[in-house]
Amino acid sequence: MRMPDIDAFVNEEAQRLISELEGWCAIPSISGDPDYATALADSARYAVGLMRAAGLEAEVLHGEGSDPAAFGTWSGAGPGAPTVTIYGHHDVQPPGPLSAWTTPPFEPSVRDGYLYARGVADDKGLVHQQLAAVRHLLSAEGRLPVNVRFLVEGEEELLSPHLEPLLAEHAERLACDLVLVADTGMLAADVPTITTSVRGSLAVAIELRSAAGDLHAGAYGGTVPNAGRALAEMIGRLYDRDGTVAIDGFYDEVREPSAEERRLIAELPFQEAEFSRAIGVRALPGERGYSPLERVGLRPACEVNAIHAGYDGPGMSASIPSTARATISLKLVPDQDPDRVYDQLQGWLQDNVPEGCSVMMRTLTRAWPFQTPVKHPGNVALSRAIERVWGRAPLYVFEGAAGPQHSLSRVLGADCVHFGTCLPDDNYHAPDERLLLANYFRGVRAAAHFLGELGEMPRDALGSARA
């Protein structure tokens, strides 16, 4: 189909788009806190309103035990055309201390070309970007180049605990040839990037016990096991000297980075010194033989997120702690499976538990790694759309953080590609979250071109990419 003038639309409708997005961001849709259940419901309804205004059929979905999601659909391109499901989320992170915000988190405010609000970059602005493109195409042409579904869930910030059953329940209506995850960023406003893989994660809580209760350090010191020291010793043994993880079998399923992947990573503009300075670290230790970006994107890792033993209240307690706790998260890459890694870690803990101690472990969260081939037709369509808007071809990014891609892909039987215009300094998950409006508008234009590019592809080109 002929592509209507998206640039003119963006210019004419800019103010209306911003106001709409502000209205959505004013709703404090914080997931995981019962006090905000009403706000989450309001936010889902707001998203449904945006979908209807765009010309979609839309409704709120209530999955078993899950926070409300917004679902929209348009099937006018017919069964021969590809169908794309656009995924995003409308829940947001808690705002943290209000004093750290220049303007209140749920009172959206435009300053210096940015829209500031909790959730504007992660992820309401990026979903709105897609909806704006669809609305424009439908109002200008009365049709879209492809069939479209939107699924905007309400629990992503909790790692999507009920997404799989929700997807399974509505699998028929969400069935598609390709999933677009509209929840990623770019390296810089003028360095467009496509995320093409995410790492998985297995987070566990570990509790070590060494005695029935805390013991007097003078009366027993030097003769009983100390839970704090025992746990510290164990954690110390998790790593080998070359920076690898010492758990038996941990690397068995790890796919070695290909020469092509290493080449793509080497193309990314990355200054080690600047990167270190920006986050306030003096060294970048890690697995030998891989660059920092390779380690973040293509190699697994083991991180200690929390460690605690003994008394740390006012004054002091000269006692020997009898329990110690740690939270550990393992970052996983294809083809590692969090369930298998759990068994490996469990075995390792039993083999390494210090004399006289016992150790227990439970899963906190798990997510599978996910990778889309760089040359996937969905990435090709995205790349063309981005080049039309930015005037340069995008680079490819291998991301360190987990998402729901594996569930989306497995239940819906389609591959995932990623698009979003959030930037590294947009402060998502932090105070003063913001979205650079110029980049948001570029994203609206690219989203429209992406649908146009997909419409040029035969439907089975997307399906066959899964082979």
- Residue 177: cis peptide before it, omega within 30 degrees of 0: no
Q: Which is nearer to Zn ion, 67 or 122 (CB)?
A: 122
Q: Which is nearer to Zn ion, 42 or 122 (CB)?
A: 122
Smallest gap from Cβ 93 to Zn ion, in A, equals 9
Q: Which is nearer to Zn ion, 18 or 121 (CB)?
A: 121
State how far the Cα of 36 lies from the Cα of 272, in Å rounded to an integer.
Answer: 41
Smallest gap from Cβ 338 to Zn ion, in A, equals 20
Judged by CB under 5 A, the stretch of 78-86, 100-108, 181-189, 411-419 that binds Zn ion is 181-189
Helices (H) and strands (E) in the chain, counts: 15, 18
Q: Which is nearer to Zn ion, 43 or 226 (CB)?
A: 43
Smallest gap from Cβ 153 to Zn ion, in A, equals 10
Q: Which is nearer to Zn ion, 67 or 123 (CB)?
A: 123
Smallest gap from Cβ 259 to Zn ion, in A, equals 32
**Residue 76: Cβ within 10 Å count:** 13
Q: Which is nearer to Zn ion, 146 or 203 (CB)?
A: 203
Q: Which is nearer to Zn ion, 185 or 338 (CB)?
A: 185
Smallest gap from Cβ 126 to Zn ion, in A, equals 8
Smallest gap from Cβ 405 to Zn ion, in A, equals 12
Q: For tokens 């729901």, what's the residue?
A: 404
Judged by CB under 5 A, the stretch of 112-120, 130-138, 175-183, 185-193 that binds Zn ion is 175-183
State how far the Cα of 56 lies from the Cα of 58, in Å rounded to an integer.
Answer: 6
**Cα-atom radius of gyration of the chain, to the nearest Å?**
24
Judged by CB under 5 A, the stretch of 97-105, 180-188, 229-237, 346-354 that binds Zn ion is 180-188
Residues 116-155, one symbol each (x = binds Zn ion by CB under 5 A, - = not), give ------xx--------------------------------
Smallest gap from Cβ 425 to Zn ion, in A, equals 16
Q: Which is nearer to Zn ion, 147 or 409 (CB)?
A: 409
In SS3 terms, 387-419 reads as: HHHHCCCCEEEEECCCCCHHHHHHHHCCEEEEC
User: Angle 217-218-223 (CA atoms, 0-180°, nearest 5)?
Assistant: 70
State how far the Cα of 157 lies from the Cα of 100, in Å rounded to an integer.
Answer: 21
Judged by CB under 5 A, the stretch of 141-149, 182-190, 195-203, 269-277 that binds Zn ion is 182-190
Residue 159 region by backbone torsions, left for phi larger than 0, else alpha for psi between -120 and 50, else beta: left
Smallest gap from Cβ 399 to Zn ion, in A, equals 12
Q: Which is nearer to Zn ion, 120 or 345 (CB)?
A: 120
The residues, ordered by sequence, that sit 6+ positions from 370 with a Cβ below 8 Å of its Cβ are 197, 198, 200, 334, 403, 405, 406, 409, 416
* Residue 183 contacts Zn ion per CB under 5 A: yes
Does residue 324 contact residue 309 with C-beta atoms inside 8 Å?
yes
Amino acid symbol at 177 = D
* Residue 294 contacts Zn ion per CB under 5 A: no
Q: Which is nearer to Zn ion, 122 or 155 (CB)?
A: 122
State how far the Cα of 206 lies from the Cα of 211, in Å rounded to an integer.
Answer: 16
Q: Which of residues 335-354 bind Zn ion (CB under 5 A)?
A: none
* Residue 433 contacts Zn ion per CB under 5 A: no
User: Angle 445-448-451 (CA atoms, 0-180°, nearest 5)?
Assistant: 150
- Considering CB under 5 A, how many residues would be counted as binding Zn ion? 3
Q: Which of residues 64-123 bind Zn ion (CB under 5 A)?
A: 122-123
Burial of 343 (0-12, 13-18, 19+ CB in 10 A): exposed
Smallest gap from Cβ 88 to Zn ion, in A, equals 8
Smallest gap from Cβ 334 to Zn ion, in A, equals 21
| Strands (E) located in 34-165 | 57-61, 69-74, 83-89, 109-111, 114-116, 147-153
Does residue 327 contact residue 233 with C-beta atoms inside 8 Å?
no
**Residue 391: Cβ within 10 Å count:** 9
Binding site for Zn ion (CB under 5 A): 122-123, 183
